[in-house]
Amino acid sequence: MPPEEPTAKPPAPPEPAGAGSLLEFARGLSPVLALGGVAALIVAGVIQLVFADLSLYAFIVLGIGAALLLAATAISFDAVKEALVGRRGRYGLNTIIMVSAFLGLAIIANFLAGQYNRRFDITTGRQFTLARGTVTTLAALKSDIQVTGFFAPDTNALDAALKGPAEDLLAAYQRVTPHIKYRSVDYQVRPQELARYALNQSPPVLVFETPERVQPVFGRVSEAGLPQFVEQDLTGAILVATGAKLKRVYFTTGHGERDITDAGDLSPGYGLIRRGVEGDNYQVQTLALATAKEVPPDASVLVIAGPKSPFLPAEIQVLDAYLRRPGRALVLVDQETPEELLALLKTWSIAVEKGTIADPSRFVNPNITDVVPLPSGHPVVARLDTVFLPRAVALLPASEKLAAALAACQQGSLADVNGSLFQLCPLLVTTPNSWLEKDPSQTPPKFEAGKDARGPFAVAMAGIVFGPPEGAGRGAATNQDKPTQIVVVGGTDFAANANRGLNNPQLFLNAVNWLAEQEHLIDVPQKPGGLRRLILSPEAASWIQWSSPLLLPALVLALGALNWWRRR
């Protein structure tokens, strides 16, 4: 039987006229739709990021982009399927998965960072970290404080320079407590709001307000010539606005003491120190001992800053009575300090040795008598980096018995001397290479064995005394609630306006705060507003100019070429 002939397949029905050309046209349009969809997605992202108020339009454009991409995929489904299933597609899909995983991890990390915010301040001097004293003050707030910033940044360059840093500082305060409420007012647009405070100085200004009190804070110019609002001023304004009692610091007058009204930049006055004391929320007043029967009862600290002329016996009696109250005194001495005051200090446990200290190991060039002593662990100096004392004098215990008070400081205890309790703590100490120069005419100073005493020497000392200094009979002082506290610094030039560099002003302010029992303010230093310039040679500047746009792209190209060569 002959084999059967294969049955021929019936011919396919003919395509409708024009269908093939229409399909080819649609497939040619697919890349255009895909590009349009991608462009729409990018535009939607830009609108959402840059113009947050136009979120609705961003979602509309996003929908259009998604529709275009879906249309392009449907038209070229076979090509898309081949691209995904084929060898290249598998490689591409693997790349997409890796990129998606990386983006997912980045999104998760960003979410966690937003939920658990941590800030790291790596600036010199911890410029953007609030001091512990400020944090303590903010944590103690029980009610809201309204802070109003009056700025006109569109019309005033100073306002524009101050507004951003001031709001950044207030934002740091708000991260600590929800009780700081801030709003900004353009006083050029709404002058009536500024007028209701009746300020005696022109803005820019921050006004701290509670229902009971109003305290303005004006910007100050830093040593670098830059306007700024200082953390110290803002914290002080909070204390005033909340009704914290102001303590008073009295400066004695009438004996050639430093002038606290002289604020000249290069002057020997203490005007800038006075501003710092007032910035720590103290009221500063002067006291003429010659006409005063006593140191006022509201005196938290009495400052005797470099007297030159002798004291009357009645004045010494006033000072001694104040210390026995018990009182708190900061005394700055030098080679010209009157003997009457030195004798009083010796009665209260601290003696001043005649002569000028020279320290070839730590000094401010070129004068080895401008010593840079080492700080101890005492709260007054523990956080100070560098202090220099021009023409410093040496301090020591007033008697051999009081040497036990030095050991008591190291042990954190008190030494019983004739029934009164003493503690003497060196604050600043020179190096063992220092010596006490006895001959003021010898320039430059030279150490003479057998004549000049070797260091180290204390150039600042803090004393605590429970009971009268001459002794009160054994155990009689232990029932006294508060001690007499004295800080003596063997130098007066360190706090002058002309020597306000390094940590010199902070040494003075820390001593006042320690004596006034405001140790938390020791942690609120006046941070310098830094203008830090990178000084470059023309060659270095040219290198940075051209390497930035060219070096990195060239490096990427070189790595790509190397990879291509290896795979070739």
Would residue 176 count as lying in a domain? yes
pLDDT digits (tens, 9 = 90+) for 333-370: 999 999 999 999 999 999 999 889 999 988 888 888 99
CATH of the domain at 210: 3.40.30.10
Mean pLDDT for the stretch of residues 72-96? 71
Residue 361: closest CA among 432, 297, 296 = 432
The number of domains in the chain is 3
pLDDT digits (tens, 9 = 90+) for 152-198: 988 888 888 889 989 999 999 999 999 999 999 999 999 999 999 88
Residue 242: closest CA among 197, 216, 209 = 209
Q: Per-residue pLDDT for 322 more than 50?
A: yes
The pLDDT score that the predictor gives to residue 531 is: 47
CB-based contacts of 259: which residues, under 8 Å, 6+ apart? 269, 270, 271
Rounded CA separation 175/179 (Å): 10
Q: Which of 52, 82, 115 is the last residue of a domain?
A: 115
The pLDDT score that the predictor gives to residue 476 is: 45
Would residue 251 count as lying in a domain? yes
The pLDDT score that the predictor gives to residue 396 is: 93
Mean pLDDT for the stretch of residues 429-441? 88
Mean pLDDT for the stretch of residues 425-431? 95
User: Which residues lie across from 389 on neighbouring strands?
Assistant: 371
Q: Which range, of 120-124, 448-452, 511-515, averages the lowest pLDDT?
A: 120-124
Distance of CA 136 to the CA centre of its chain: 15
Is the domain of 68 the same as that of 86? yes
331 — pLDDT class (breaks 50, 70, 90): very high
The pLDDT score that the predictor gives to residue 535 is: 59
DSSP designation for 494: G
Would residue 436 count as lying in a domain? yes
Would residue 288 count as lying in a domain? yes
Between 310 and 84, the higher pLDDT residue: 310
297 — pLDDT class (breaks 50, 70, 90): very high
The pLDDT score that the predictor gives to residue 323 is: 95
Rounded CA separation 335/354 (Å): 7
Rounded CA separation 484/264 (Å): 34
Q: Per-residue pLDDT for 23 more than 70?
A: no
Residue 332: closest CA among 460, 506, 484, 422 = 460
Would residue 11 count as lying in a domain? no
315 — pLDDT class (breaks 50, 70, 90): very high
Q: Per-residue pLDDT for 68 more than 50?
A: yes
Residue 417: closest CA among 461, 485, 372, 465 = 465
Asked if 406 and 350 count as a contact pair (C-beta separation under 8 A), the reply is: no
Between 527 and 69, the higher pLDDT residue: 69
Mean pLDDT for the stretch of residues 135-152? 91
Is the domain of 216 the same as that of 355? no
User: Which residues lie across from 394 on neighbouring strands?
Assistant: 353
Residue 290: strand, helix, or coil:
coil
Rounded CA separation 523/451 (Å): 42
Residue 332: closest CA among 531, 147, 499, 567 = 499
Is the domain of 423 the same as that of 287? yes
Cα four-point dihedral sign 476, 478, 481, 487: positive
The pLDDT score that the predictor gives to residue 186 is: 93
Q: Per-residue pLDDT for 528 more than 70?
A: no
HSE (CB half, 13 Å, CA atoms) of 334?
A: 20
Question: In whole numbers, what is the pLDDT of the chain averaged over residues?
Answer: 83
Within 10 angstroms of residue 338's Cβ, the number of other Cβ atoms is 17
Residue 224: domain span:
132-237
Is the domain of 106 the same as that of 183? no
Q: Which of 189, 204, 237 is the last residue of a domain?
A: 237
Q: Per-residue pLDDT for 523 more than 80?
A: no
222 — pLDDT class (breaks 50, 70, 90): low
DSSP strand E in 467-561: where?
Answer: 484-489
Would residue 21 count as lying in a domain? no
Is the domain of 502 the same as that of 484? yes
Place of tokens 């930035």: 548
Is the domain of 175 the same as that of 57? no
In terms of pTM, does the model score above 0.85?
no
Q: Per-residue pLDDT for 48 more than 90?
A: no
Q: How, if at all, do strands 420-429 and 374-375 pair? A: antiparallel
Q: How, if at all, do strands 299-305 and 247-253 pair? A: parallel
Place of tokens 């136009």: 54
Q: Which helix (H) or strand (E) holds 221?
A: strand 220-221
Q: Which of 86, 115, 144 is the last residue of a domain?
A: 115
Rounded CA separation 523/383 (Å): 8
Mean pLDDT for the stretch of residues 407-422? 88
CATH of the domain at 382: 3.40.50.880
Q: Is 332 exposed, middle or buried (0-12, 13-18, 19+ CB in 10 A)?
A: buried
Mean pLDDT for the stretch of residues 547-554? 78
Asked if 255 and 243 count as a contact pair (C-beta separation under 8 A), the reply is: no
Is the domain of 302 the same as that of 329? yes
Asked if 229 and 219 count as a contact pair (C-beta separation under 8 A), the reply is: yes
9 — pLDDT class (breaks 50, 70, 90): low
Is the domain of 91 the same as that of 159? no
Mean pLDDT for the stretch of residues 513-526? 76
Cα four-point dihedral sign 47, 51, 56, 57: negative
Is the domain of 184 the same as that of 105? no
Helices (H) and strands (E) in the chain, counts: 14, 23
pLDDT digits (tens, 9 = 90+) for 367-401: 889 999 999 989 999 888 888 899 999 999 998 88
Is the domain of 70 the same as that of 179? no
Asked if 231 and 237 count as a contact pair (C-beta separation under 8 A), the reply is: no
Q: How, if at all, do strands 415-417 and 394-397 pair? A: unpaired
Is the domain of 376 the same as that of 297? yes
Instruction: Report residue 507 as tokens.
Output: 């040494």
Q: Per-residue pLDDT for 18 more than 60?
A: no
Rounded CA separation 495/273 (Å): 7
Asked if 412 and 397 count as a contact pair (C-beta separation under 8 A), the reply is: no
Within 10 angstroms of residue 439's Cβ, the number of other Cβ atoms is 13
Within 10 angstroms of residue 518's Cβ, the number of other Cβ atoms is 18
pLDDT digits (tens, 9 = 90+) for 483-508: 999 999 999 999 999 888 778 898 99
Distance of CA 68 to the CA centre of its chain: 54
- Percent of the chain surpassing pLDDT 90: 38
Is the domain of 142 the same as that of 249? no
User: Which residues lie across from 303 on neighbouring strands?
Assistant: 251, 330
DSSP designation for 16: P
> What is the chain's alpha carbon radius of gyration, rounded to the nearest angstrom?
38
Would residue 77 count as lying in a domain? yes
Would residue 165 count as lying in a domain? yes
Mean pLDDT for the stretch of residues 543-558? 79
Mean pLDDT for the stretch of residues 459-473? 85
- State the chain's maximal CA–CA distance in angstroms: 154
